[in-house]
Amino acid sequence: MMRANRGLSELRSISFEPNIMKYAEGSCLVKFGNTHVICTASVEDKVPPFLRNKGMGWVTAEYSMLPRSTNTRIERESSKGKLSGRTQEIQRLIGRALRAIIVPKKLGERQIHIDCDVIQADGGTRTSSICGGYIALAIACKKLIFERVIHQSPIIDSVAAISCGIVDGTLMADLDYNEDSNAHVDANFVMTGAGKLVEVQATGEDGPFTNDHMNALMLMASNAIKIITKKQAEVLAEVDFDQ
């Protein structure tokens, strides 16, 4: 199987547009091809009950899709009155990914909410949310330092994520919705800028896969994440509060 417009290990066109939201402490519109997600970081001077009086901060994430972000309109979870299992799984994943690069002590007793709202979905919404959520989080932390609320960044590395999979026997990176729907193996990798793994989730619902496949997917993801990491660093270098 070939791809019409890009190589098998090639990413879609990606972009990070920082500071697109007027009120949020940090924000970013992230695009992976036709997948567009607004990520915001909101700083709150209060931590969840289990962390109170411990001098530590917390990062948490929420995820949602606009009803018409997809080809067929999906019902709002606010109208249904509960979050689906899929939504909860995704927002737990985003939260874990971002907490992996944070030193809670350095954040002090404050919580940062990362909201990821999918405006348009074409596969890879959870990995895009992690990539864009990192930018929003990093900007919010820069702002806290600039405003002398904290003195050292709680961020110790960058973090990014990508999906890779096997479609019709072919390995490929950064699956779009159509590829994802036809994938026999669907894997999501979260890695730090330093090249370490934070989270691996690989699923072969239509049938199992081999260790060799797993290793090949891991390698492909690792290369993709290097490219995203570079892009993230460039974007953040441009964000400046000092002027």
Contacting positions for a second copy (CB under 8 A): 21-24, 27, 34, 38, 40, 42, 44, 62, 64, 66-71, 73, 76-89, 91-92, 96, 99-100, 113, 115, 117, 119-120, 122, 157, 187, 191-192, 194, 196-211, 213-215, 218, 222
- Minimum CB separation from a second copy for residue 213, in Å? 8
Element spanning 164, H or E: strand 159-167
153 versus 201: smaller Cβ distance to a second copy: 201
Measure the CA–CA gap between 92 and 90, rounded to whole angstroms: 5
2 versus 79: smaller Cβ distance to a second copy: 79
- Minimum CB separation from a second copy for residue 18, in Å? 14
Measure the CA–CA gap between 24 and 140, rounded to whole angstroms: 8
23 versus 151: smaller Cβ distance to a second copy: 23
77 versus 180: smaller Cβ distance to a second copy: 77
Contacts of 212-216 with CB under 8 Å at 24 or more apart are 213/166, 213/171, 213/185, 214/187, 216/171
Which among 179, 195, 197 is positioned nearest to 6, based on CA atoms? 179
- Minimum CB separation from a second copy for residue 134, in Å? 14
Residue 190 CB neighbour total at 10 angstroms: 26
- Minimum CB separation from a second copy for residue 195, in Å? 8
2 versus 169: smaller Cβ distance to a second copy: 169
- Minimum CB separation from a second copy for residue 234, in Å? 22
User: In 3-state terms, what secondary structure has residue 139?
Assistant: helix
What are the structure tokens assigned to 75, written together? 């019902």
DSSP one-letter code for 11: P
- Minimum CB separation from a second copy for residue 7, in Å? 23
CA dihedral 73, 75, 78, 80 (to 10 degrees): 180
163 versus 192: smaller Cβ distance to a second copy: 192
User: In 3-state terms, what secondary structure has residue 193?
Assistant: coil
